[in-house]
């Protein structure tokens, strides 16, 4: 077991859930927790196990209505239960959706007014104060790294998928136990793994000077590239699962630096009404096209990315990532994800407005995004 303190406290290691959970509940003086999770995990019995692990003096109630892409409506429902049950803390159990939803519930439980005003594009960073209730994040996937991140992505009632960022949204503790990912199906292992890999790549080339983040991103990329195939093929092995969870953690620790056009487009597409497009799959499809678009500005940085992925110097980085995506059995085009041409027209201007567009290394306009989305179609 390791205890890492970098932005937040991170308990990392196989089999540490029981000890770490009790430790953090005691440290944070939690008396009644809202466990935020989803229906899929409820079927495994893990939320009840977590509830039973709590000390006798810590009560809990479970909210299992997390959608695949967390929404403002789910935030409001979770907030109502939080208040009705007089909770004083949140435990987020699941993938990035459950963790982001728990962050949004924590935010709305302690801040007045509509959720939208706290979005980055509406000047929300300065409006989020240090008064959120305690939050412990327990990831069951190795992808978003939201358990150590300062952001949350929420689909608002008007269907915009917006980012909420503040150091006060970072969970008070993260419990990263790779044993919790052993039963994650191959398809989801691959999709969430490509999310982690994308975070590392896109952060490394983001247009911000941050050498520590660059180093963390390269380390995460090495771990993801070396282990994603085995984790997706034979998920029962703890070592590749451990390495993928570390890659996800690194990706989110590093993207404090910023992301770019991949996420601008995946956020825009992920908020489309009536759709449940997987964020990691979108990233996997879009990343090669963004790498080609950004190459005139940051192509000199691709050599280290290729080295981290154990690719020959002569390899085409974008082609190699496309091949990896195909090898993992994931979609390689947006059309394979049932995205339509009309969806592309809707998404392009939203991508330009997304907060991650600001740190893309090459300035991207609505027209550029329309071109990139068309290429990925």
Burial class (CB in 10 A: 0-12, 13-18, 19+), 284: buried
Give the length of the chain.
Answer: 377
Q: CA 8, CA 132: separation in Å to the nearest integer?
A: 15
- Residue 81, both tokens: 């239960």
For the chain, give every residue range classified as CATH 3.40.50.1970: 2-180
Q: Write out pLDDT tens, residues 286-307.
A: 999 999 999 999 999 999 999 9
* Nearest-angstrom CA–CA distance, 175 and 122: 32
pLDDT for 185 equals 95
Q: Are 284 and 228 in contact (CB under 8 A)?
A: no
pLDDT digit string, tens, across residues 165-190:
999 999 999 999 999 999 999 999 99
Parts of the chain belonging to CATH 1.20.1090.10: 185-376
Predicted pLDDT at 1:
57
Fold adopted by 2-180: Rossmann fold (3.40.50)
- Side-chain-facing half-sphere of 361: CA atoms under 13 Å: 23
* b/e sequence 237-274, b meaning 16+ C-beta within 10 Å: eeebbbbbbbbbbbbbbbbbbbbbbbbbbbbbbbbbee
Binned average pLDDT, 10 residues per bin, the chain of 377 residues: 74 96 96 97 96 94 96 98 98 97 98 95 96 98 95 93 94 97 96 98 96 96 98 95 98 94 96 89 98 97 98 98 98 97 96 96 98 98
Whether the full predicted model's pTM is greater than 0.85, yes or no, is yes
String of DSSP letters for 327-377? HTT--SSSGGGT--HHHHHHHHHHHHHSGGGGG-SS---HHHHHHHHHHH-
Question: Do residues 316 and 342 lie in contact, with contact meaning Cβ atoms separated by under 8 Å?
Answer: no
- CATH, domain 185-376, list 3.30.2130.10, 3.40.50.2300, 3.40.50.720, 1.20.1090.10: 1.20.1090.10
């Amino acid at each position: 077991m390791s205890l890492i303190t970098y932005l937040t406290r991170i308990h990392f290691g196989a089999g540490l859930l029981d000890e770490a959970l009790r430790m953090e509940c005691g440290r944070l003086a939690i008396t009644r927790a809202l466990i935020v999770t989803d229906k899929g995990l409820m079927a495994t019995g893990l939320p009840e196990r977590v509830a039973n692990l709590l000390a006798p003096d810590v009560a809990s109630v479970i909210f299992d209505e997390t959608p695949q892409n967390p929404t403002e409506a789910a935030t409001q429902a979770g907030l109502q239960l939080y208040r009705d049950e007089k909770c004083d803390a949140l435990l987020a159990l699941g993938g990035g959706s459950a963790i982001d939803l728990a962050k949004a519930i924590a935010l709305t439980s302690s801040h007045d007014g509509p959720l939208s005003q706290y979005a980055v594009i509406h000047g929300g960073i300065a409006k989020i104060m240090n008064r959120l209730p305690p939050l412990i994040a327990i990831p069951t996937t190795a992808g978003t790294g939201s358990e150590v991140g300062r952001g949350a992505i929420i689909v608002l009632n008007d269907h915009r998928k917006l980012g909420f960022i503040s150091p006060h949204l970072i969970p008070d503790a993260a419990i990263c136990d790779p044993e919790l990912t052993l039963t994650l199906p191959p398809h989801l292992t691959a999709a969430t793994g490509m999310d982690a890999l994308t975070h590392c790549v896109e952060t490394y080339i983001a247009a911000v000077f941050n050498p520590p983040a660059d180093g963390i991103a390269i380390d995460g990329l090495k771990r993801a590239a070396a282990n994603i195939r085995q984790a997706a093929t034979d998920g029962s092995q703890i070592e590749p699962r451990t390495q993928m969870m570390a890659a996800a953690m690194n990706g989110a620790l590093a993207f404090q630096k910023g992301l770019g056009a991949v996420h601008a487009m995946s956020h825009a597409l992920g908020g489309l009404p009536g759709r449940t497009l997987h964020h990691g799959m979108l990233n996997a499809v879009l990343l090669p096209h963004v790498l080609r678009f950004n190459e005139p500005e940051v192509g000199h940085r691709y050599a280290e990315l290729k080295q981290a992925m154990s690719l020959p110097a002569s390899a085409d980085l974008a082609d190699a990532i496309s091949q990896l995506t195909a090898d993992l059995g994931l979609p390689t085009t947006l059309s394979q994800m049932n995205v339509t041409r009309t969806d592309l027209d809707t998404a392009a201007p939203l991508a330009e407005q997304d907060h991650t567009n600001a740190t893309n290394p090459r300035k991207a306009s609505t027209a550029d995004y329309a071109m990139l989305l068309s290429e990925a179609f």
